Each structure stands twice: as structure tokens, then as C-alpha cells.
Structure 1
Amino acid sequence: MFRRLALALLLSFGGVEAEASTPFWGDRESTTSDVTPSELEPGQWVWMPQNAPSGPIVVVVSLTEQLAYAYRNGVLIGYSTVSTGKKGYQTPTGVFTTLQKDKDHRSSIYNNAAMPYTQRLTWGGVALHAGGLPGYPSSHGCVHLPSAFAADLFEVSPLGMTVVVADDADSPADVAHPGLLSPVDATTGAEPTVPRLHTGEAYRWQPELAPGGPLSIVVSTADRRVLVYRNGVEIGRTRMVLKDGDRPLGTHVYTVLGDAEADATGRMPASYEPRWSAVSLPGHEADAGLPMDPAEAARVVLPPPFIAAATPYLAPGTTLMVTDAPILPSTTGVEMTVVTNTPPEGDGGAAEAN
């Protein structure tokens, strides 16, 4: 009995020791959303999934900026500092899909090194995972993330998620330096081909491009534009006029509350009136539940036909992000390369870059 008890205690302590041997990298809590990606210090990150509670997810890693951006339903839900491959072990650019997920992965070739929240990108050893963040490229090819950010991303990421790795040399400018809206398609990783509104075109509304799925709306006072996404696809955009334009609207996120259901086409009943409620952002938790200010909402003037076309689609769960930052891309540049993730023959791809 004593030997069995001693063995149990030994195994228990051994498990604690193994768990404790996994380092924790980066900040433990999200930085306030007022901090822009370029202002993040090594190890810092921002996580705001309430910007788009559902929809397809895509991650863009900028090697140039040493930053990662996570988008859901076309809208930015998180960004983080990273550390990518150092000289001689450069992280490859291109379009990848996650091939495996392993929350407690350890390296088979680097002294059993901890690689928590691994999301494998290539069978040759490139992955997203929690790791060291010195403020410059330091890995053997993998993309190191802060531990808490890697955990949050791992939780919401589906297997097969699209990940785009970009830099100034091999990628379009708006992909190497992404913004509030996803610069790539969540399914293919290719740049969207949606044209800008041409001269004389006040708005565009094309719900048939995405017959179903969650709706996200983004209002930019800098660009004087409103863009609408459904299931990660842009289905509408319009010009807007901002009354008292020298005074900013600030950054806010709202969601539509209610329990009514849309019909098969995604339209709400004619008698339904959407009710907007603010959601909290990191650093602005007190905003949660506040109603939209009618006076501030009245400052945004949209074409009446656009309002009439879009309002029936404002189902409960629709999100609205208001920002004073620009959202339209500036230039394009070179094309991205799609990376072939065909497993190698033999062991199925056990190599790891770390």
C-alpha cells in the first residue's frame, strides 16, 4: 500500500513538473483596443472576437511588420506581435491551410521543446504556435505567438483555416500591411476583386453573392464609406456623408438584439425594428449594453435606397463597427503564391521547424 501511494505521489509530482516546464510567453491579458498594431510592444496582443462573433476566419502574418492579424467574417478580431524565422530559417510566404492542430504539442527534433497550441501549416515543419517573442525574427521557421493569444486563436480556428504569410518583397502592399478588413478571401487566400464605387455610383447592394451567414457592417469616417460583409463576402458598400465632419465618431462596436428570425432569404419580418446595443472592447468594458446614441447615429447620412435595401437583413447578431480609421486598400502590388501542402511520402510529415 505504501509503495502504491508513493508511486502515485511521484507520478502526480511528475505531471506538475512537466506542466510547469511549459513556458508562458507574452502578456497574459489583451492590450486595450486603443493600441494600434504598430504600437504593440513585443509580447503584446489585442483580442476582440465580439467584432464578428461568427463567420469564416483567416489569419494574415506580416513578416515585414512581425505582426499577425486574425479576421472573422471579413472583420479584424485580433492582432498580435510575432517572431518568425531568423536568417537561414526564413518563414516561407504564401497561402497555407492548417493541416493539424495540437494543443500540447512538443517538438520531436528540438529537445522535446514545448510548442503549445500548434497549428501546422506545412508538412515540412512550419506552424503557428506559442513561442519566444524577442521583438525580431528568431524562430527556425515557425510563427511564434504570445501564449494567451495563441490559445484564443486555437479555440476559434477550424482545421483547414486559411493562413497567409506575406512580406513587402513577395506580397501585395495591402496584404503585407493589412488593416481593419481582411485583405484576402477566407477560403482561397486570394485578394478580393470587389471594385471601388465608380464616379456617380452612390452604393452597391448584392446579397446574392452570399446567400446566407452572419452579417457584419463597418463604418469608416476616414473613407466616408460603409461596407457590409456576409459570411466573409462583401455584399454591399455605400458612400456616406458625416455631419459635423471635423468631430470624430470614435471606435464602437454594436450588435443587434432580438429574438425574431429571418426567412430563407435572410430577410427579417417587415414589422421588425433592429435594436442596437454596444459591446465591450478591451479597455472599454463599461460600454457593454449601452444603446446607440441617436444624435451620433444621425450624423451618418446614407443613401435612402441603400438603407431600404439593407435594413431587412439586420437580423439579431448583426454587428456594426464604427471607426475613424481608413478601411479601403491603397495599392495592390505583386501577387501571392499558393503553397502546396501535399503530405510527403513516408511518415506523414514529422519534421518541425520550431
Structure 2
Amino acid sequence: MRITLGIGLAVLIASAPSALAAGAKAPLQIVVSRQQQSLVVYDGDTVVATSNISTGKRGHTTPTGIFSILEKRRHHKSNIYSNAPMPFMQRLTWSGIALHGSNHVPDYPASHGCVRLPGKFAASLFKMTQRGMHVVISDRQVTPVAIASTMLFQPNQAHPPAPPMSDVPLRPAISHFDGGSVEVAMTDRRPSPALLVHEQPPIRILVTRRGRQDTMRDLQMLLTTLGHDAGAPDGHGGPMTLAAISSFQTAEGLPVDGKATPELIEAVYRKAGRDMPPNGVLRVRRAFQPLFEAEITIDKPELALGTHFLQFQDTDAATGQGKWFGMALDNTLSKAAKDRLGITVDTDPTEFNALQRTLNRLTVPDDVRRRIAGLLADGSSLSISDTDTGLETGEGTDFITITHSVSGR
């Protein structure tokens, strides 16, 4: 059944408990369904507003996944399609996907990739949103539900300053590495609940499997530490990295081929007196900028994590506790991707407690949990995905996760 504006946007806003009419900035989120051709605005698990929409037609399919509003323009024209007007434009990707108003919003996919909204609704939605607000686009209709888990972060998990932990594997994001030394301080003071709610911008957390770029970057750092200059640890195996690998192989009496094989990587870790790193990584961004990364452990790595999105809100000033609302998304991995990641068992996002089961498989070091707790604010989010972010995630974005359906529509 298609969700429409049958009872009117004004009625929905007035009846929602989020006090939007009083000017409160609740951490809302938007969920778009391509199958239903619908858009729903949620405050937690409460519907604030709904509308019919029109997504991309065949050949110009609207991508599915986890996005956020990167830019807002009341008056905008397409720089691709003959300066077509796109009033109340809210950009989701720098490659050209956006929400915007239109005079033609049929009940079927008809756009060139954007999400078309009825003009009046587009104007009302524009007033309700702000940059960084999350937009989830899915084939089927998905709904956020309250999630309780000991794995999920809470502001009151922060604690008073303690000496820095030299063995905690925190590091800056790749784009922030300048080749110099990195100092990691785990001494964030616990902010007051009022500060968490009103002053700190929300953070974006991504949990994913440790990828080739992470492995290569750490290999480069270790090779350089061992006296084989691999250049800047950028995660890409360039000429200096290949030369460093060959130099290490020569020094250790190994066959020289310059290849970063699993055996070579294990040999480098042994030589450096280090254990092999955990199989997961946690990344943190704030205000569209990378903050830090940390290593985590994923239990049962042969089982797919699936793709999930959660948002934190409603922090209680007295207890420092807030609520998490989450949803599981469809995402079909290719055989090549599963082979590369070592996944042999798929997960079904529609299974009971699919998100809860995934959370139970994640282990985050205590010091990392405390640092995140000190940064947590209403509207913070957590994305979980087997595959790392693609080309859409970059400068001036949050973590953008693109999902794929079985049909590949």
C-alpha cells in the first residue's frame, strides 16, 4: 500500500510529539522507498510527515543506500538537463543525486535519478531539514525501530581523564596523515549531558571489515619502521612500497617478487614483533571531516554483517542515556566481493533481530568506546556494512553507503 499525504502534512507535523512547531530541532531522518514511491520523515520511530515521490526511471535509477544532506539550495537548476529547475534542492551526493520539488510527480519512477517531491511538500521539507540529516533510500519500505544493545554507545560511558593508552590502535583517517608523528590522547573529559545535547555536532560512525587499503597502509608503516622506506602510508601499493617489499624479502632471505601476499604480511608482522591486527575497523567523522579510526573485532567473519543504519537521539539530561533507532537494509554482495572478504554465509535483513545479531558480533575496545561516548551527541549515527565506503564518500560528505538489490535495478 502506497503511503501518501492523505491526511495532510500540516496535520502530521502538528500531531507529532517532537515539538517541531515550537522550533525544536529534533534529529529527524528520511526514509525513501523505491517500490512504494514514498518518502517518510521520522523522529525516532514516530512518523512526522509523508509524501508520494518519483524516483529514477530505467537507465537513470536512483541509487539505494545511506546518505545525508550535503547541500541545500532554495533555487537551483540542473547543470546536466538543460537548466531544468530543481526548487528546494537538497543534495545527497556530489555526483548529482538530490531531493527536489517538481511539477511532475507521477506514481511511478520518472526522474533522471533524483527524488522528485510535490512542490508544496518540497518547500515544507526544506524548512524541516538541515545539512547532515540522514536520508535512507531502499527498495522495500523500511522503518526505524528502537534498538537496545550493550554494544551501542552511550554518553554516560565516558569517564574522567586517564593516562593515554599507547597500545590502543587509534589513528587519524588516511586523508589527515601528513607523514609526521601521530599523538593519540585518550583523555577526553566527560562532557555534561547538556553539552552533548545542545553544543556538540553529531558524529558519524562506520563499522566495516578491514579492507585491502587498511592492510596495505599498516604494511607500509611497518616496513618503514623496519628500515625499508615504503613512502607515505596511503594504503596504495606504489613503486616505493613494491621496492620496500623487495628490500624486506632480500634482507630476510625470502623469494623476491615485491608482492604483498598474506604470507609476506605475516612475515613483516612477525619481524616487527606485532600480532596480526583485528579483522574490523571503526571510522569516525564529524561535520563532514574524518576524526579517527580504530581497530575492532568481528566475530564469525565468515557470516555476512549485512548493511544496517542506526541513529542516536533523545538524550536524558539526568541519566546521560539516549535511544538508538535502527533498520536493516537489503544489500546483495557479488560473488567476487564475498570471496575477497571471506564471506561464505549470507544474512537475511528481514529475519527477526537481524540487526541485534550483528551488533552482538562486534567487539570495540573499551578506550575506543569511551572516546566515542565523549563525542556522542543527539543525531549521531552508526552505519554497519561488509564493504567499505566507495567513491561517493570523500571531502565534504558523511559516510555514504551504496547498496545493491538482487535485480540490480
Give the TM bin, normalised by the shorter chain: 0.3 to 0.5
Q: TM-score, normalised by structure 2?
A: 0.37
Higher percent of residues as helix: 2
Q: TM-score, normalised by structure 1?
A: 0.42
